[in-house]
């Protein structure tokens, strides 16, 4: 990840079926990386805001 920079951002895509741990993985990644990087999380759950609200806490 040392190559990540404003001109060359690191992008991570997470996909999988319902209940596979996508939000838990995202939560863990954000918590570990927030001291080293500026983070943006984009969710695409078209039915609820639950995951997006969880990740902003």
- Residues 45-57: tens digit of each pLDDT: 666 677 667 667 6
CB 43 within 8 A of CB 51: yes
Q: From CA 26, how far away is CA 13, in angstroms rounded?
A: 10
Alpha-carbon distances, residue 35 vs 12, 18, 23, 48 (angstroms): 17, 29, 19, 29
At 6-45, the pLDDT tens digits run: 688 888 899 999 889 988 998 999 999 999 888 888 877 6
| Token duo for residue 4 | 């990540």
Stated pTM of the model: 0.65
């Amino acid at each position: 990840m040392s190559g990540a920079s404003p001109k060359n951002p690191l992008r991570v895509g997470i996909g999988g079926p319902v209940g596979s741990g996508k939000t838990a993985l995202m939560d863990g990644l954000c918590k570990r990386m927030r001291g080293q990087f500026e983070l943006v999380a984009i969710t695409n759950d078209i039915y609820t805001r639950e995951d997006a609200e969880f990740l902003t806490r």
